[in-house]
Structure 1
C-alpha cells in the first residue's frame, strides 16, 4: 500500500503545474463552501439573536383577542394592570426579566418633514431595554418620570436632520379612535445597527405612552427574556392560562426558521454545483495522466500487474489530490472565516426586514464545525468518485494496444 502511494506521488510530480492547479481548484471550492456555510450560519444566528433581543423576546403574553398587525389600543384588547402580571412572571427561576410594552402607530414631524413610526412605550429601568440603552450614540436614556422625552434611532435622526435637544411633534392614535399630538424633546439617539428597526421605532416611557394614547394602566404585551431559550417550554407550562395568549420565540420567528431551512436547501444545491465543477477538473487531470502514460500502463499489464492494482494506483493519485486540496482548502477557508468573524461584511441599506425578520447592517461569519466536517467529507467523496472513471479507463486497457501507443 505504501509503495502504491509512493508511485502515485511520483506520478503526480511528473506534471507539477497541472497537479498544483487541480489541488488549487479543489482547495478554492472547499474554501468557498466553508466560507458560505459560515456566512449563512452567522447571518441566520445573528438575525435570530437580534430579533429576540429587539423585538420578540423569548416569550410574550398578550390578550387572547389582541391583533398585532393592527396595534389595537382598545382596552379589551390590552393587558390590564401589567405590573402585577410582570411581577408574577419575574418570580420564575428561568426568567431574566419581564417588562410591559405598549405599541401604537404614530407620525413624527419636524419643520416641513414627517414620517410614520411605531411608538413603543417601555419601562426604562428594565434590563430588557439594554440593547437600546447600550446602543446610545448621543444624549441620555429615558427615565420613568420623563413626561416630554423621546428616544429616536440614528437613521431617523439623519433622515430628518435631528439631534439631541431638538423638539419634534408626535401624533398618535388613541384608545377611543381619536388622534393625540404633543411636542417631545429628543433625549437620546440610539443605534442597534439594524437600520430597518432604528428608522421606524421611537420610544417613550410607558406611563407617558399610556397617558398619550388614553390606555391608562394597560399594555399591549409582556416582553420576557429567559436565561436559556431551551427552557421556553418549561416557562410556558408554568404560565399556562386561558386569560392570556402565550407566544414563544419559535412561533414569533417562524419566518427566520423557514428562511434558514430554505437557505440550507439552496446551500446543498450550491455544494453540488461547486463540487461538480471541482470533480470535472479532477477527472480531466487524471484522464490526461492516463493517456500520457498509456505505454507505461501497457508495460505494467505485460509484466503481470493486475487491473485491480492499476486501478488502485490511479485511485491513490485521486486520494492524494483530495488530501492536498482539502488541507489547503481548510487553511484558506479558516483564514476567510476568521476575517469575516472579526470584521464582518457591511450591507448597510441592503439590510431588509419583513415578517419580524431583522438583519443587522453588518453580517458576521460564524464558524460551523459540523458544516465544515460535512463539506470536507463531501469533498473527499466527490474527489474519489471523480477518480473512478479514469482509474477504470486505465484498468481496462489491453496490454498489446497500450504497448503500441506512442510508437
Structure 2
C-alpha cells in the first residue's frame, strides 16, 4: 500500500520543489535559526545547572535547617539560635525520602591572627569527612582538606590566606567572644587553602573541625543542619516535606537558591543577555523568511493571476501560499531540531572552556544541555515564525488585480 498525499498537498509539495533554490534558502534560514535557539537555550541551561551545583557542593548543600530567625539575627546573637540536640534532628531528617546526608555546622564570628595582625572572619565548625563528600566543588590550591584526625587543623579561604600571608603549615590563632563576655582563643595549624565559586565567601571563610569549634564556643550544639539530597530536582519537594514536619517545632528550612543572592543575580544577568540573543535569532529567521517569501511571490505573480483568471478565489491563493510556507516551516523546524541536537552533542563532547562568572573564582567547562521542552519550543518558534512571515505577502498576492498580474514579466 503506497502512502499518498491529498491532491492539494501534492500540488503544494510540487511548488516547493519547483522553486528549489528559493526553498533551499528559506529552509537554511529556518534550520539555522531553530538550531541557534536550541544551542543558545542549552548553553544557558548549562550555566544555571553548573552554577547551582557549584554553590550546592561548595557552600550551602541543598537545604539548610536552623532555628527560626537565625538567618536574620544569628550573627548578632548566635547563642539564641542553637540546635540543642543536633544528632537527634539529624536522624529525623535522614528518615525523609531523598535525603542522602545530613551535616552539622557550628557557626562563629571572630578574628584570626597570624602573629602580626588580625582579620575579621566568618567561621564554621564542620564534620571533616562528611564535608569532603559535600564539598566536591571546593578546590584546594594549597595543602589538603580537613581530616577527622585534625584536632587543631584549619582551612582558609583564598582571600583570608592572601590577606594574612598564610600558607599551609603556618600557625594561626582564632579569637572569639563568648556570650558570657569572656574571650576564648585556640591555636591552629593551617592544613589547606581552598577556592570556592564565590570570591566573597573566600575572603572571609575559615573552617575548623566541629569538635574544635565546640570547644572554642563551649557548647555541644549546632547552628545549622545541612542536607544533601540524592537529586537537586527534589529540592522543592524535600523542602516542603521538612517544613511540614519541622516548621511547627520552630525550625526554618531554606533551599540553596534562597541562600545565595549571588546565584539569583548571576541567573538574572545571563537570562537577560541570552534573552536578547534569542530575540536576535528570531528576528533573523523572520526577516530571512519574509524576504524569501516576497521574492517567491514576486516571481510567481503571473501564476497567481492565471489561477484567479481561471476561476480560483483569492482565498484559495491565500491558503495555497500559507500551506507552502507552513510545509517549508515544518520541514525547516524538523531539520533545525536534528541539526541543533547533533551540534549540541558534538559541542558537549568537546566542551567550551568558560572564564569565571562575575564575582567568582573558578572557571568551568560548559556543555549544551538539551531539554525536551526547549527543543520542541525552538522548533515551534521556527514553524510559527515562518507562518507569520507569510501572512502579509500571501494577503497581498491574493488581492492582486488579474490584469496587473498577467502583465507581470511581459
Question: TM-score w.r.t. structure 2 length?
Answer: 0.79
**What is the root-mean-square deviation of aligned Cα atoms in Å?**
3.8
1:161–1:349 distance in 2 versus 1, CA, 3 Å? farther
Contact 1:48 1:253 in 2 (8 A): no
In structure 2, the partner of 1:337 is 344
Contact 1:131 1:192 in 2 (8 A): no
Residue pairs, 1:123-142, within 5 angstroms: 123-126=127-130, 129-132=132-135, 135=138, 137=140, 139-142=143-146
Counterpart of 1:175 (choices 178, 183, 198) is 178
Q: Distance in 1 between matches of 2:313 and 2:214?
A: 88
1:73–1:348 distance in 2 versus 1, CA, 3 Å? farther
In structure 2, the partner of 1:224 is 227
CA shift, 1:72, in A, is 4.2
Cα deviations across residues 25-56 of structure 1 (Å, max 9, x unaligned)?
Answer: 32332222212222232222333334344433
In structure 2, the partner of 1:323 is 330
Contact 1:12 1:317 in 2 (8 A): no
Q: Distance in 2 between matches of 1:277 and 1:204?
A: 56
CA shift, 1:191, in A, is 4.9
Contact 2:59 2:135 in 1 (8 A): no
SS at match of 1:120: strand
CA shift, 1:112, in A, is 7.8
Counterpart of 2:306 (choices 299, 316, 334) is 299
Contact 2:134 2:228 in 1 (8 A): no
Q: Distance in 1 between matches of 2:69 and 2:17?
A: 76
CA shift, 1:393, in A, is 1.7
Counterpart of 1:391 (choices 358, 373, 394) is 394
Residue pairs, 1:8-407, within 5 angstroms: 8-13=15-20, 16=21, 18-68=22-72, 71-72=75-76, 74-92=78-96, 94-106=98-110, 117-126=121-130, 129-132=132-135, 135=138, 137=140, 139-153=143-157, 163-165=167-169, 167-176=170-179, 182-191=186-195, 197-198=201-202, 200-212=204-216, 214-227=217-230, 228-229=234-235, 230-242=237-249, 244-249=250-255, 252-253=258-259, 271-339=278-346, 341-342=348-349, 344-352=351-359, 361-407=364-410
SS at match of 1:210: helix
CA shift, 1:253, in A, is 4.6
Contact 2:334 2:379 in 1 (8 A): no
Contact 1:150 1:185 in 2 (8 A): yes
Gaps in structure 2 of 5+ consecutive residues:
1-7
1:118–1:78 distance in 2 versus 1, CA, 3 Å? same
1:345–1:162 distance in 2 versus 1, CA, 3 Å? farther
Contact 1:315 1:384 in 2 (8 A): yes
1:381–1:133 distance in 2 versus 1, CA, 3 Å? closer
Contact 2:356 2:363 in 1 (8 A): no
Contact 2:294 2:393 in 1 (8 A): yes
CA shift, 1:384, in A, is 0.8
SS at match of 1:125: helix
1:288–1:294 distance in 2 versus 1, CA, 3 Å? same
Contact 1:136 1:188 in 2 (8 A): no
SS at match of 2:135: helix
Mean CA deviation greater in 339-348 or 91-100: 339-348
SS at match of 1:390: helix
SS at match of 2:128: coil
Cα deviations across residues 146-183 of structure 1 (Å, max 9, x unaligned)?
Answer: 23211235676678776543x15354433246665554
Q: How many residues align?
A: 396
Cα deviations across residues 60-103 of structure 1 (Å, max 9, x unaligned)?
Answer: 33233434575246423322343343344445555322222022
Gaps in structure 1 of 5+ consecutive residues:
none
1:103–1:313 distance in 2 versus 1, CA, 3 Å? same
In structure 1, the partner of 2:5 is none
1:115–1:395 distance in 2 versus 1, CA, 3 Å? farther
Contact 2:74 2:81 in 1 (8 A): no
